[in-house]
């Protein structure tokens, strides 16, 4: 039987080298992804403490970093953690809470759009 293509050679040494390269490449990709994630986290941490950002922006940065939402109750224990992480005073965090509650109330009262 004639085939148009020559048979493939299966050389064990070539396969080992290829596999090693693939593992190194994958390991390098994972290392790059880990570095990028760490850098993104560092930037988010910096954003939540940046004094030129408004309290709303700093609280939003904290929410994105931790995947949590600002609690709506003024006595919630996590508010102390948010204050510490963002460098904001309790009054500033409570003001963000108050503004959000006012926006929600206004949206609820708005005629159906």
Residue 49 tokens, joined: 């403490």
Q: Where are the domains of the chain?
A: 27-109
pLDDT at 100 over 80: yes
Q: In this predicted structure, what is the pLDDT of residue 3? A: 55
Residues of the chain with pLDDT > 70: what percent?
Answer: 77
Q: In this predicted structure, what is the pLDDT of residue 18? A: 52
Q: What are phi and psi of 44, to 5 degrees?
A: -65, -40
Can you give the pTM of this predicted structure? 0.67
pLDDT tens digits along 71-87: 999 999 999 999 999 99
N-terminal to C-terminal alpha carbon distance within the chain:
74
What does the alpha-carbon distance between residue 78 and residue 52 come to, in Å, rounded to a whole number? 23
What does the alpha-carbon distance between residue 38 and residue 1 come to, in Å, rounded to a whole number? 58
Q: How confident is the model at residue 6 (pLDDT cuts 50, 70, 90)?
A: low
Q: In this predicted structure, what is the pLDDT of residue 21? A: 59
What does the alpha-carbon distance between residue 84 and residue 93 come to, in Å, rounded to a whole number? 11
Q: In this predicted structure, what is the pLDDT of residue 70? A: 96
Q: How confident is the model at residue 9 (pLDDT cuts 50, 70, 90)?
A: low
Exposed (0-12), middle (13-18) or buried (19+): which is 10, by Cβ within 10 Å? Answer: exposed
């Amino acid at each position: 039987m004639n085939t148009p293509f020559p048979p493939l050679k299966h050389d064990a040494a070539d396969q080992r080298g290829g596999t090693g390269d693939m593992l190194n490449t994958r390991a390098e990709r994972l290392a790059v992804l880990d570095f990028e994630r760490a850098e993104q986290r560092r930037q988010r941490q910096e954003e939540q403490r940046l004094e030129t950002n408004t309290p709303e922006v700093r609280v939003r940065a904290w929410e994105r970093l931790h995947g949590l939402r600002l609690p709506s109750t003024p006595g919630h224990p996590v508010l102390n953690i948010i204050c510490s992480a963002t460098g904001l005073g309790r009054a500033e965090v409570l003001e963000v809470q108050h503004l959000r509650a006012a926006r929600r109330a206004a949206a609820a009262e708005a005629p159906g759009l």
